[in-house]
Structure 1
Amino acid sequence: MLCFNRLVAAALAVALAVPPAAFGQQLSDAPPSDGPPLEIGPLNSSVISLVPPGIASGVFGPYGSKDSRLAGGNGTANGNASLRAPLTAVQLPDLGDGSGGALTLQEERKVGERVMRQVRRGPGYLADWLTRDYLNSVAARLAAAASAQYIGGYKPDFQLFAIRDPQINAFSMPGGFIGINTGLFVTTQTESELASVIGHEMGHVLQRHIARMIAVNERSGYAALAGVLFGILAGMIANSGDLGSAIVLGGHAYAVDEQLRFSRAAEHEADRVGFQMLAAAGYDPYGMPSFFERLERASMSDAGVPAYARTHPLTTDRLADIEDRARRAPYRQPRQSPEFGFVRARLRVLQDRSPSEYAGDVRRFTAEIEDKTAPNVAANWYGIAVAQMLIGRYDAADAALDKARRIFTADEVQEGEVARSSPSLDVLASDIARRAGRADDAVRLGEIAQRRWPGSHAAIDIHLQALLAARRFADAQALALQATRADPDEPAWWRYLARASAGAGDALAQHRATAEALALEGAWPSAVRQLKAARDIEAIDFYDLSIVKARLHEFEARYKAEREDERNMR
């Protein structure tokens, strides 16, 4: 029982971004030592692109485009080379075996993927492509810097997502999945502040803190860890980030104290790794200490301790260490992506849930413009447009979006940039038209958005929604099929393909696409039933029948394997 309780505490610690202060003391709680860096080594010899996979250059302004300001670069190969500028050696605390013990990288990823199925089903999960695209673009920029600086012993496929929760918090999970609360995003004042938090969470993943903490305590099996994380993360997301929830596993309830937190050594390591990535990626090094200091001031106020300060204790040693590193970092003039302001304004609205709250958002955005306190006037008008759309005032939404676009264009010209649009502006234009019932306009605007931003998932998504609303099922089917081939692990594309196929009267494609979506969501019995329905279609030809039967056999085998894993958890 003691062994299993330690496993619970350690798994909780990293998955929820809360430290295991309540379990065995093998992990040092002392200030970081000056020991050698951990998990440092070359990943590969190839040049890593700064643009996220599948996102075209220029989608996010400076990311890999001619406007790149990364470490003084110009968006060319020389800009990439600047990432390799030497930094002061990072001294990391000793947290034990950096290999992660018995837990392999494949097992970590498998755990993360299974937990994410539950996360996506939770009411707090925010399935907003504009937000996901932007968060993943920041992570890709930081990951490129990590690779160039030889940080981390492996290169995870980082996937970031937003949680609709006003609490200021973020958390990392096994395999590269990182959640960012809307409350944390809207609290940040600059892109560098946001990047500093993302870099910190990526540091936990790159340094394999879950695997290392478990290896230090007990060489516990993968199945037990999977069960713990599976219940914990699902419960946390379903309860909008309540870190004090109780976890029930195998008929035993384990009360999880809200004060469990990472050891200070792990937090120091994540800080230092995150800071090195932040500086190497061309962000403002002061973004990390400025955000943490503001949280520390909030902790001492009557407003209560922010969730991030509770789950990532901001000790005096941590703050002093980060401030010292920022002072010693070379000065850079980072250029903030326009998308930061638009997505931040969008999340100020999307973290609310009712028309009355949206109306309040309109009043607050408007007051900030009138009082001249809005740091980004174009973003405020964009936020007004989002809120008016959700209320159903589509003419007002169009008018606000037009103001946002004109101000944004004027600001770009003043800064000497070529006047252009942004994914946020173009996607919202199509979304307003679709919701207003102007299906043809929505399709036209969706086509424009996808043409301007061919790698933007948000542009593909809104174009698909517009085509379905216009009942152009054949076009929607072709576009959805293209999306599934480019990104077969994304359930949304399969769902769109199923809807388009149903509208086009293609029952075989509908059943097969629905089965793929259900499988990715872990609903194996339902996926199997869909494939059996496809198999039983009378008009199916021999070639398609062979494909369906092979996929059916594979799904049944994977379902059996997962059931076996679940039995081993008990």
Structure 2
Amino acid sequence: METMRRSIVLCLCLLPALVFAQARLNNDKNELPEIGVVASNAISIDKELLVGEALMRQLRGRAPIINDPLLEEYIQDLGNRLVAQSDNAKFPFKFFPIGNNDINAFAFYGGHIGIHTGLIVEADNESELASVVAHEIAHVTQRHLARSIESRQKTSPLQLVSMLGGVLLAMADPEAGIAAISASQAAGAQASINYTRSNEKEADRVGIETLAHAGYDPSAAATFFGKLAAKYRHQSKPPAFLLTHPLPESRIADARARQAIYPRIQVGPSLSFHLIKARIQARYTGIRTYDSSYFQAMLDNAEHPVIKKAAQYGLALTLLDTEQPDKAKPIIDRLLQDDPENLFYLDTFTDIALAQKRHHEAVEVLTEHSLKQPRNRVLALNLANAMIKDGQHNEAVRIIKDYLLINPEHLLSYQLLSEAYGESRQMLEMHQAKAEVYALIAAYPRAIDELQTAYNFTADSTLEKQRIRARIEQMRDADTRLRNL
């Protein structure tokens, strides 16, 4: 969905994995602690969700989150598969991609987990990626963040939000992060977010258990950790993951010992994993070596059918992105012939069709598939985008609004909605949609400005004027709450 991607990828403030304090371990290392009791006096579930939402809105406005429906859907599906096998999941988890070549993943309040694109590229298979995600899920389900607040009873967790934003940014983007906090705050706050050995050991144990129960290879954690430790052992600047997740030999040995508890699971190559990895390499790394010649060589040397398909897909993307849609089209056509329901191929088919000005054909094909999978984010947003290009603005608005009913905080949807209204000269609705975009990135003053502009287009509609005034008050209240955190 390249047309959308170029207009919509936002840069946000990355919040890597956070605030951990000393955990209390049971004498039996294989027995898990009682969750909730330890942290109940520190921060309630409701308050944790509130803090997580506030941090997420700040993130959307300041860090390189990638608004790519395919990437979003892949990591959310993978994360949900793991959460389904996790104990003590107190709330729905939200997984989101960060456009950063560093190898890292991080968790924060309210079940939010960010996954760097660099982590996906470094992993050799889906089990390795899942091992890191399962580890981060464990930090949340074990309530390590909330438990760290227990030792800070005199400090409200809400008062930590503004400081945490800068400190956590420093872990992913040192220049931006250091500028966001004062020198006096930096030392104490940095000490608060370092992982403790007990936290890491507990997250390893719970993560490997989750990994095995979800049907992934439980040996993948030790394999991936060992590979990273060997690769970066003698480098002066290790990846971000190793800075926040140190990998001494004892920890890798513990992971190997723990995997022996579970039966070895032979997991074949995941087509979705290798397709998403090729997509990231082709579009989001910014590394020139991932060009058409790279994917052609990959295709020439591939033996497994899954790897061949991923190579073909990556080749089609690089050809499309270098303005060669005529060469990309036959590749995608062949892939679709073998797998007509594949969302990766349908997404790229849409981009090719729009690049070739075959707008109506894209609408017809996507409409047929959308009837089979209503409200699927990839199909719905591709179809809405194609309809906007085809001049079917009202239909595009209907589809986007329908999708927003199940995902009301989806930034890309509001941006497309604003575009559809703007193209059809519906100025009142366009400014209202833009206001929601700004609200989702915590830019409440700009959101209020958009609503005040929308007010000028209400004509004699008393109802619309009342709605806008009420929404402005909501925005002001939200801005006040954010400033008080």
TM normalised by structure 1 equals 0.74
Aligned residue among 463, 469, 480 for 1:549: 469
Deviation sequence 1:246-268 (CA, Å, 0-9, x none): 25447855258799741111001
Q: Return the offset for 1:538.
A: 4.8
> What SS class does the counterpart of residue 42 from structure 2 fall into?
coil
User: Any stretches of 5+ residues in structure 2 without a counterpart?
Assistant: 1-13
How do 1:434-473 and structure 2 match up within 5 A? 434-473=354-393
- TM-superposed deviation, 1:536: 4.0
Matched residue SS, 2:73: helix
**Does structure 1 residue 181 correspond to structure 2 residue 113?**
no
* Alpha-carbon distance between aligned partners in 1 of 2:269 and 2:427, rounded to the nearest angstrom: 48
Task: Tell me whether 316-325 or 361-370 shows the greater mean CA deviation.
Answer: 316-325
What is the identity, as a one-letter code, of the residue corresponding to 2:222? P
Partner of 1:166: 101
The total of aligned residue pairs comes to: 470
What is the alpha-carbon distance in structure 2 between the residues aligned to residue 131 and residue 559 of structure 1?
Answer: 30
What is the CA–CA distance in structure 2 between the aligned matches of 1:288 and 1:205, rounded to whole Å?
18
Name the amino acid aligned to 1:352: T
| Residue 395 (str. 1) matches residue 326 (str. 2) | yes
**CA deviation string 1:390-438 (max 9, x = no partner):** 11111122133234445xx3xxxxxxxxx55311111111022223333
Pick the aligned partner of 1:370 from 281, 286, 300. Answer: 300
**Cα 1:265/1:426, change in 2 over 3 Å:** same
Instruction: Determine which of 312, 328, 341 is the counterpart of 2:245.
Output: 312
What SS class does the counterpart of residue 157 from structure 1 fall into? coil
Percent identical pairs in the alignment equals: 28
Deviation per CA, 1:297-319: give whole Å up to 9, x if none.
21336696443233211123322
Instruction: State the distance in 2 between where 1:32 and 1:494 align.
Output: 51
Distance in structure 2 (CA, Å) of the matches to 1:530 and 1:325: 55
Q: Report the alpha carbon displacement of residue 338 of structure 1 after superposing the two structures with TM.
A: 2.4
**How has the CA–CA distance of structure 1 residues 455 and 281 changed in structure 2, closer, same or farther, with 3 Å as cutoff?**
farther
Segments of 5+ residues of structure 1 without an aligned counterpart are: 1-13, 21-25, 42-96, 410-418, 566-570
Taking a change above 3 Å as real, the CA distance of residues 258 and 402 of structure 1, as seen in their structure-2 partners, is farther
User: What does residue 530 of structure 1 align with?
Assistant: 450
Contact 1:199 1:277 in 2 (8 A): yes
Q: Is it true that 1:201 corresponds to 2:131 in the alignment?
A: no
Secondary structure in 2 matching 1:156: coil
Matched to 1:262, the amino acid is: Y
- DSSP-derived class of the 1:502 partner: helix
The 8 Å contact of residues 93 and 113 in structure 2, kept in 1 or not, is answered as: yes
Partner of 1:280: 213
Work out which of the residue numbers 235, 254, 258 in structure 2 matches 1:321. Answer: 254
Structure 1's consecutive aligned runs of 4 or more residues displaced over 6 angstroms after TM superposition are 28-32, 256-260
* Contact 2:85–2:213 (Cα < 8 Å) also in 1: yes
Structure 2 residue aligned with 1:98: 38
User: Structure 1 counterpart of 2:401, which letter?
Assistant: L
Paired with 2:415 and 2:43, the residues of 1 have a C-alpha distance of 33
Per mean C-alpha deviation after superposition, the further-off stretch among 375-384 and 322-331 is 322-331
User: Helix, strand or coil for the counterpart of 2:212?
Assistant: helix
Question: Residue 171 of structure 1 aligns to a residue in which SS?
Answer: strand
Residues 539 and 28 of structure 1: CA distance in aligned 2, closer, same or farther (over 3 Å): closer
Contact 2:166 2:178 in 1 (8 A): no
1:386 match: 317
**Greater Cα offset, 530-539 or 185-194:** 530-539
**8 A Cα contact 1:430 1:441, kept in partner:** no
Provide, for residues 464-510 of structure 1, a one-character-per-residue CA deviation record: whole Å limited to 9, x for no partner.
21111122111111112212222212232222222222333333322
Structure 1 Cα separation of the partners of residues 293 and 27 of structure 2: 47
Residues 102 and 432 from structure 1, CA distance in 2 versus in 1: closer, same or farther, beyond 3 angstroms? same
Following the alignment from structure 2 to structure 1, what is the Cα–Cα distance between the partners of residues 396 and 45? 37
Judged with a 3 Å threshold, the aligned counterparts in structure 2 of structure 1 residues 236 and 349 are, in CA distance, closer, same or farther, namely farther
Q: What corresponds to 1:489 in structure 2?
A: 409
SS of equivalent to 2:106: strand
Residues 529-566 of structure 1: per-residue CA shift (max 9 Å, x gap): 3333334435343333333333233222222333333x
1:281-306 per-position Cα deviation (integer Å, ceiling 9, x unaligned): 11122222221221122133669644
Q: CA deviation at 1:18?
A: 6.6
Give the 3 Å change call, closer, same or farther, for CA 185–303 of structure 1 in structure 2. Answer: farther
> Residues of 2 paired with 1:214 and 1:460: CA distance?
41
Q: Contact 1:115–1:234 (CA<8 Å) still a contact in 2?
A: no
Q: Which moved more, 1:458-467 or 1:339-348?
A: 458-467
